A and B are shown apart, each in its own frame.
Chain A
């Protein structure tokens, strides 16, 4: 029922936007800015640039609304735009092969001072996430953000649900390998 209401209001919102209702588009931005900004800012460290890119996403949404057929959920469609914008934004980086590179013994993750360990690990983890391929990066960022379901991710990435889970495991494995090797 809640889902029905959401999609109905979503349809109304999109219809109003298409009619050129500025207030409706403002509502749309208000509704999705948290999701878009969080996804973008998690992938782009420079906050000013992240804001600009997040704005670009909404400009693309505005331009693309007349062509939005409503087959997917609006959030899914917006998420897909975010993925495309981030992929275009990201410059190619030199990466070393990750799979199977963890030959040495992994670093012990002690429990003596968990808060400190967490802080240090979090810092390393953010750097490691930035090194992941865009596809994995947005998958991890999207999955751990509230509001994005497996179905949304599957639709946005054009993958079956089961594959999304497999990819998520692969993404986390690459992340762990990075933490065990380059970001020790």
Chain B
């Protein structure tokens, strides 16, 4: 028997498992394997006597605080979703009512009125279109900033 053969069972020997007499005979005559066995026993003993780290006194309080924040954030998300859904619902109802009134002829808009509105918003529309790239860039920056703020807020609350 070679030392390498014994290497696989050193831990079992250290735990006191009963193995074939061959193994025991080898250990009895091999100083290298005796040292390995001594090391395995020492490791086992030290592992068994390691002190378990104790959590800090305020641990539970801090966990509960984080749980509370996470719950608050989840509720906020639900609230935002609910509000958006309500706003979308109202917009749909209003659009439906206006469309119905229009189709039934209860609501009419005179051509001069439409022209007047068109003339009023035309300068704003054309100047906005002229500054198109700037507006798009500003909108992107604003969206990114809002997204970043939302993400940071979320990380901080967890």
Task: Tell whether, in the assembled complex, residue B59 and residue A140 are in contact, meaning their CB atoms are under 8 Å apart.
Answer: no
Task: Tell whether, in the assembled complex, residue B48 and residue A144 are in contact, meaning their CB atoms are under 8 Å apart.
Answer: yes
Partner among A25, A62, A146, A179 whose Cβ is within 8 Å of the Cβ of B39: A179
CA gap between A176 and B56 in the complex, in Å: 32
CA gap between A26 and B60 in the complex, in Å: 7
Partner among A25, A37, A140, A146 whose Cβ is within 8 Å of the Cβ of B64: A25
CA gap between A11 and B40 in the complex, in Å: 41
CA gap between A172 and B56 in the complex, in Å: 30
Closest to B74 in A: A63
Closest to B8 in A: A173
Query: How many residues of A are in contact with the other chain, CB < 8 A?
Result: 45
Closest to A54 in B: B55
Partner among A36, A54, A100, A169 whose Cβ is within 8 Å of the Cβ of B12: A169
Partner among A63, A168, A176 whose Cβ is within 8 Å of the Cβ of B36: A176
- A34 with B52, Cβ < 8 A, contacts A62-B70, A108-B35 known: yes
Task: Tell whether, in the assembled complex, residue B39 and residue A37 are in contact, meaning their CB atoms are under 8 Å apart.
Answer: no
- By a CB distance below 8 angstroms, the chain A residues around B2 are none
- By a CB distance below 8 angstroms, the chain A residues around B44 are 172
Task: Tell whether, in the assembled complex, residue A118 and residue B67 are in contact, meaning their CB atoms are under 8 Å apart.
Answer: no
Question: Which residues of chain B (1-59) have a CB below 8 Å from chain A?
Answer: 4, 7-8, 10-12, 32, 35-36, 38-40, 42-44, 46-48, 50, 52-56, 59
Question: Which residues of chain A (150-164) have a CB below 8 Å from chain B?
Answer: none
- A51 with B55, Cβ < 8 A, contacts A105-B32, A108-B35 known: yes
Q: Does A64 contact B (CB under 8 A)?
A: no
- By a CB distance below 8 angstroms, the chain B residues around A50 are 53
Q: Please, what's the 1-or-0 string for A21-58, where 1 marks a CB less than 8 Å from any CB in chain B?
A: 01001100110011011100110000100110011001
- By a CB distance below 8 angstroms, the chain B residues around A13 are none
Task: Tell whether, in the assembled complex, residue B64 and residue A22 are in contact, meaning their CB atoms are under 8 Å apart.
Answer: yes
Closest Cβ–Cβ distance, residue B102 to chain A (whole Å) = 48
Closest Cβ–Cβ distance, residue A68 to chain B (whole Å) = 16
Q: Please, what's the 1-or-0 string for A128-149, where 1 marks a CB less than 8 Å from any CB in chain B?
A: 0000000000001000111000
Given A41-B53, A55-B59, A172-B47, output 8 extra A-B contacts at Cβ < 8 Å.
Answer: A33-B63, A37-B55, A55-B63, A59-B70, A106-B36, A109-B35, A168-B11, A180-B39
